[in-house]
Structure 1
Amino acid sequence: MKRIAIVLLAGVLLIGATLPSNAIQYEPPVNIVFIIHIEPLGWPMAYQERMDFLAWLQELAQTRPIPFKMTILVNGDIAEYAVNNGDIPFFQSLEADGHEVGTHAHSIVQTGPYEWVSVDSATQRYGIPIYSQDATEQVWSDAKSWVDMLTPNNNSICAFPFICSAEGGLMLDNGFLASPGNRSEKGLDYTGFLLHHPFRPASDNRLGHEMEEDFNGSHIYVDHYAQIGNPDAHGYNCTAQAMAASMDEAYQEWLIAEQMEGDSLDHKIWTFGFLTHLWIDNAYYRAQITQLIELFDSLYVDQYTPRGNLIAQYATVNEVTNDFIDWETTHPGESSFSYVHDFPTEPLINEAMIIPADSSHTSEWIEVFNPTDQWLNISGFEINDGLIYATDFWRFPPSTWLGPLEFATVAMDGNSFRADWGFRPDFEVFGNTGARPLYSEGYYTLHDLNDGCVIRNNDTVPTGTNTAITDGLSWGDNYVTGFTLPVPTAGSTYGRDGNSTDTGYAYDWSLNGEASSPTPGGHNVDSYFDPQIKIFTEVAWVPMTIPETGGSVEFSIQFINEYASIQVVDIWTNLLLPNGSVYGPLIIREDRGLNAGLNITVDLVQVLPAGAPPGFYRYNVYAGDYAASQPIAASYFYFEKLGLDGNPAPPEGLTADCAALDAVFKRMMVDTVIPEEYTTAVSPNPFNPVTAISYQISDISRVSLKVYDIAGREVARLVDGYRDAGLHEVTFDASGLASGVYLYRLEASSTGTRQHSETAMGKMVLMK
């Protein structure tokens, strides 16, 4: 009833309330911010079509009784075309109309005139292990340098590549004041509504801290919706009708503040933002924009309350930024907005293959995910069907641990799972594959048309809840409230939208639709970080048990590199002891090269001494960056040490026979794959006056190729930017140089899985 009363009051206040007031504005108006993204030319539609849409928007604003304002964010390659196409006056006319021009930065860098190369694989915002700060810096600077030619007021940027910890420095170094949309959808993901107040965000990579405020932050964040007219833009309904309802919520919140604060000047800056992309242009989207603008004009813009307060106005991001800075000077130390999201501390369901049509239910499996940065003891946790009162279950055995941000695949039939997916599950109800067996009771744990599955902790009830269920999904008649979905179709899975180690689109904790294809054992296909290096382990016999007197664990490790280039990684192993502590590394081999397309299996032996305590051990294998504690691939298996309870201290004398592993890496080194230096060649040499320098790099790299005379003076800079893996050739024209000896120097810094740098030098002879 309270919400209805507010709506009715709002309607009364708006009737005839259009008279301006010279009184003090006790509650500042809602600033309606219209963001325009001009995408790179690699996206649909050509340059001129984008400019035509922008010209239509300019004309629409000019013909409105109340002209709206746009914040137009331009990618570098578009700005290059605009500058060279003579369109600077067009952008100047936009600014003269009150619009703002700023920067939009996709993951592209410039390598030459009208040449822009994607470096997305080196700047993945959502996969820290392969994030390159150097590549990101060039993305920002290349885009900014061209937009600076369009406007002297380049103060705002929305950039794809960055991580939160580096964003503040990038903003400061490039002179940007505002970052509209950089923390995209996090307000909606965490709070369920668009953020209505700008604030200075903290530079913090921790999940849940993207919306945390830092009074000393270098820039100001302005929130906004994604593509207007799209019913599922970044996971949210952004049709004109939906955004009209959202604007009504913002207005009601604003109205309550206006009434409660009275004549006090204890106010904040307000915003409501929405967006369109210029490559999305048709009659539908133009109508959606027009419809929303007409609604704003009729209900909010230039409308006044009886107290004399203006309800809403159109503004650019730069105008909001200036207002916010002024507000800070009169409200020192006062928070504008800050929110820290508490993430689950219990295991979640990441993906589920549950096929009601499968009468034998042998194809069914569940993937459990640890969303924390700590080891979780999931001993005793149960997977049940979706009925609260169900007695059927799969129960995890004692000494079951799930590592930080790690997955565990749980299958009904391990043999069927391996036949379907090519590797054994981590746990199985039956199958004898070497997966650790689950305790189970009943037949219908998952197989049912009318329920689903849940994971629950029977030992404790999680803090803040009244149930042992930590996550679940369900359908049909017998469902668990809050986890309800449509009945899945045969052969499909339900999976989370994305799991990553940094901020990203749609990082939410509710299952949201069927995955396009099953991905057991790792991130889902919709995840923004899907590493192409994989590790699988297999034990030599089942069950893998070690006698009380000690013995050997025989197993194999399969390494797969699906990248088209060599990947340099560290390989290491450790042991999770029965008491939950980690012992190791047992094996560590640093800077090992994995060939493109590699698929190889290595047999290993791990010795466990008699002094090792009894219980279940987990043997872990990782690939990635050991020094940074950043694995990009992992696998594990369990084995049991028999005997009476004894000394719980870490065992001494653990040794591993690594001969086979070292032999494989040695052979790979001999066979090619990791060059001591990048290969180069010059042809012809001697030359007059033109020659070609070719070079081959094994990974996407930042490349510098310069030519010097014998006195060490630089005479030519042939390459300075990012290049993809493979063979490249560049022409050196020495027409203006004297005959003699010249030196070339190639420097290449890889931004792939493991960053490394190489240098190559050579001699050329110019004979005229």
Structure 2
Amino acid sequence: MYLGRLHHEEGGGMQPRGIAWEFLLFCAMFPLLGLRGGCEEPSWKVVEPIYLVHSYHLDPIGTTPQSGPTVYAQHRDAVLWLEDLAQQSGMRINAFSTGLYAEGAVRSGDFSDFADFMPGGPHTLGVHLHAHHKPFDAPDAPWTWVEESPNVADPDIVRAIYEDQIFFVNELFRRNGVDPIENIIMHGSHVQLDDMSELYGTSETRSVDYPNVFTLLEGRRGIYHPYRGPASTVTGHEDPSEDEDFSAPYVHIPIVSGVIGYDEVHGPEGMVYGTVPYIKRDFILEYLEWREVERGASEEPPRIWVFGWGSHPYQTTAQSRGTDGRLVRDSWREIVSWLNEHYVEKKTPHGNEIARWANDREVEARFLEWEEAHPGVTSIDHNEEGGPRQELAFLFEPLGDAAHDGEVGDLPEGVRGERFRDSAGAFLWLLWSDVGSVVVPVGDELPFSRTVRHADGTTTSEHGETILVGETPILVFEDGSTS
């Protein structure tokens, strides 16, 4: 039995439900008793959904006529499997191909695999480059490539890497009846020049042998919003303000989370970061930041939000297993199903759609509309230290190494809860209410003796059979845990 909640009645202002008027007095007594919470009445905003994007890098296959066709066939099976999953689930695919994979598709006559990736289709196709080029003495040799060091500095070799690989990706556009000039997305390259505008086709002088002008680029991992930035933007910058440039011709779209299944080569988080419990954690934390904007707790204007993760065909073959021992395809099915069940095209109690599958071109179009309506407004939303601002950053600190462990059950209507487990095995519970302040019984799961962490990072020790849960999330952990 819980005490109830407050809600708005049409034409009647704030009215009590589920308890007598004494509840108003009960709420008003919170400050006098030294308790947190109360009768919250935020100013709810209209916000756009979180656009779900992910990056599928079609990495190099073999570099010889002996290895290339065999590896290509294995990778193609993974690509077709993911297309089937997308068709069944409504998911969108943002594929970025190296020239090696694209050559395999062209030479095998499989260019129609990418019919739905052309402009106007549900998916997108762009370019992702590793350090490979065709042999200088045999540029037309089929299935044959030379691999350079990623830090190659010779500008002629760098240009050859771009020209040789972009040629085959462009050919996929041509074979599908689309002018290659529409190939505008560059999602990461292993090789660079000091002036990337030359390679992206935006400089006043042009020295590369392809018609493309690449204006849609990858964004810094971990940022929740698309932004306009320079051509040189790559992961690793400590200060996101260095990444934003209102005058630049490039729009950057981040993916936020890890590489599904395993992530040992993509960042300091380590080999487990891309597994499903961590992707779920990342989404829940972003959703709650999004919700802070929705409920008017943030003074910042509503922005365009994105969330996604990465993957590769070699990680999604039929027998590929992640560092968690699971078949990666099972992990894909789980995260897509979970998002569809709980968030995609679902609405908050205040009418805002929570999440929507999208491709990069759709996100770019929405960002450009937002940018026009908010001239000169940063889309990254900096905090005082220069990093991406997050209203709940202090609250979420103990979740830095924690994985999602499940949804908290048996909660009153309108109260949500997600359970996490940290690296020491201790449980943490993230709780919030969509219906004002609610007194929640601890039941069989939540601890009687506990520490409650609040949005500003402060903590209070509590003992008792009930927990006060408000619209601002709280983090609960058992007294004596290491969190």
Post-superposition offset of 1:90? 1.9
Post-superposition offset of 1:288? 0.8
Aligned to 1:113: 141
Q: Counterparts of 2:237 and 2:87 in 1: how far apart (Å)? A: 43
Say if 1:49 and 1:204 are closer, same or farther in 2 by CA, change over 3 A.
Answer: closer
Contact 2:230 2:244 in 1 (8 A): yes
- Structure number with bigger Rg: 1
Aligned to 1:8: none
Of the three residues 229, 237, 250, the one matched with 2:261 is 229
Q: Counterparts of 2:183 and 2:297 in 1: how far apart (Å)? A: 36
Contact 1:31 1:271 in 2 (8 A): yes
Contact 2:131 2:191 in 1 (8 A): no
Aligned to 1:325: 368
Post-superposition offset of 1:321? 1.3
Post-superposition offset of 1:285? 0.6
Aligned to 1:270: 305
Q: Counterparts of 2:199 and 2:382 in 1: how far apart (Å)? A: 23
Aligned to 1:72: 95
Post-superposition offset of 1:117? 3.5
Where in structure 2 are the equivalents of 1:507-586 lying within 5 Å? Answer: none
Aligned to 2:292: 256
Larger strand share, 1 or 2: 1
Q: Counterparts of 1:81 and 1:204 in 2: how far apart (Å)? A: 30
Q: After superposition, give the CA deviation of every residue in 1:73-132 in whole Å (9 maximum; x if it has no partner).
A: 1111211221222112221145576111111111111232325433533x51xxxxx523
Q: Whose relative contact order is higher, 1 or 2, with alpha carbons under 8 Å and at least 6 apart?
A: 2
Where in structure 2 are the equivalents of 1:263-662 lying within 5 Å? Answer: 266-280=301-315, 281=317, 282=319, 284-337=327-380
% same residue: 24
3-state SS of paired residue (1:336)? coil
Structure 2 letter corresponding to 1:232: E
Structure 2 letter corresponding to 1:84: R
Post-superposition offset of 1:311? 0.7
Aligned to 2:87: 62
Aligned to 2:183: 154
The runs of 5 or more residues in structure 2 that have no matched partner are 1-43, 203-211, 321-326, 387-483
Say if 1:199 and 1:132 are closer, same or farther in 2 by CA, change over 3 A.
Answer: farther
Question: Given the alignment of the two structures, is residue 39 of structure 1 paired with residue 39 of structure 2, yes or no?
Answer: no
Contact 2:258 2:279 in 1 (8 A): no
Q: Counterparts of 1:321 and 1:209 in 2: how far apart (Å)? A: 23
Of the three residues 157, 160, 171, the one matched with 1:138 is 160
Q: After superposition, give the CA deviation of every residue in 1:141-200 in whole Å (9 maximum; x if it has no partner).
A: 22222111212342212232344853344324431122225x5x5xxxxxxxx2101112
Question: Given the alignment of the two structures, is residue 88 of structure 1 paired with residue 117 of structure 2, yes or no?
Answer: no
Say if 1:87 and 1:131 are closer, same or farther in 2 by CA, change over 3 A.
Answer: same
Q: Counterparts of 1:54 and 1:172 in 2: how far apart (Å)? A: 29
Aligned residues: 301
Contact 1:209 1:341 in 2 (8 A): no
Structure 2 letter corresponding to 1:256: E
Contact 2:230 2:250 in 1 (8 A): no
Contact 2:57 2:97 in 1 (8 A): yes
Structure 1 letter corresponding to 2:353: L
Aligned to 2:127: 103
Of the three residues 66, 74, 78, the one matched with 1:53 is 78
Q: After superposition, give the CA deviation of every residue in 1:18-52 in whole Å (9 maximum; x if it has no partner).
A: xxxxxx99211111112111111138961111111
Say if 1:270 and 1:83 are closer, same or farther in 2 by CA, change over 3 A.
Answer: same
Structure 2 letter corresponding to 1:331: H
Say if 1:229 and 1:329 are closer, same or farther in 2 by CA, change over 3 A.
Answer: same
Post-superposition offset of 1:204? 5.9
Say if 1:204 and 1:294 are closer, same or farther in 2 by CA, change over 3 A.
Answer: closer
Post-superposition offset of 1:316? 0.9
Post-superposition offset of 1:266? 3.2
Aligned to 2:217: 179
Contact 1:104 1:157 in 2 (8 A): yes
TM-score computed with the length of structure 1 as normaliser: 0.36
Q: After superposition, give the CA deviation of every residue in 1:187-243 in whole Å (9 maximum; x if it has no partner).
A: xxxxxxx21011122356896456521111121222223420115352321101101
Post-superposition offset of 1:299? 1.5
Q: Counterparts of 1:112 and 1:247 in 2: how far apart (Å)? A: 45
Structure 2 letter corresponding to 1:50: H
Say if 1:254 and 1:172 are closer, same or farther in 2 by CA, change over 3 A.
Answer: farther
Post-superposition offset of 1:333? 0.8
Q: Counterparts of 2:230 and 2:183 in 1: how far apart (Å)? A: 22
Say if 1:213 and 1:147 are closer, same or farther in 2 by CA, change over 3 A.
Answer: same
Aligned to 2:407: none
Post-superposition offset of 1:274? 0.6
3-state SS of paired residue (1:112)? coil
The runs of 5 or more residues in structure 1 that have no matched partner are 1-23, 125-129, 186-193, 344-768
Contact 1:94 1:100 in 2 (8 A): yes
Of the three residues 203, 209, 224, the one matched with 1:196 is 224
Say if 1:336 and 1:164 are closer, same or farther in 2 by CA, change over 3 A.
Answer: farther
TM-score computed with the length of structure 2 as normaliser: 0.57
Q: After superposition, give the CA deviation of every residue in 1:583-642 in whole Å (9 maximum; x if it has no partner).
A: xxxxxxxxxxxxxxxxxxxxxxxxxxxxxxxxxxxxxxxxxxxxxxxxxxxxxxxxxxxx
Say if 1:336 and 1:33 are closer, same or farther in 2 by CA, change over 3 A.
Answer: same
Q: Counterparts of 1:209 and 1:274 in 2: how far apart (Å)? A: 22
Q: Counterparts of 1:164 and 1:334 in 2: how far apart (Å)? A: 30
Post-superposition offset of 1:276? 1.0
Q: After superposition, give the CA deviation of every residue in 1:489-539 in whole Å (9 maximum; x if it has no partner).
A: xxxxxxxxxxxxxxxxxxxxxxxxxxxxxxxxxxxxxxxxxxxxxxxxxxx
Contact 2:45 2:293 in 1 (8 A): no
Aligned to 1:218: 249
Say if 1:162 and 1:338 are closer, same or farther in 2 by CA, change over 3 A.
Answer: farther
